[in-house]
Amino acid sequence: MTVAAIDSLVHHANIYKIEGESYRKKQALKSNQEIGQVN
């Protein structure tokens, strides 16, 4: 039953591939570097 529901949703879905560096990843790396400089 669950597989049928997911298949129904995905069947009409559009998939977009976005290239480039993730803003969330970039922010996390920057945050980790700042924490490392404080210690």
Segment 8-32 mean pLDDT: 88
pLDDT at 37 over 70: no
Gap between the Cα atoms of 27 and 6, Å rounded = 33
Query: Which tokens go with 5?
Result: 């529901």
pTM above 0.75, yes or no: no
Gap between the Cα atoms of 39 and 32, Å rounded = 11
**Average pLDDT of the chain, as a whole number:** 85
| Tally of CA atoms within 13 A in the half-sphere of 30 that contains its CB | 6
Map tokens 């996390």 to a residue: 28
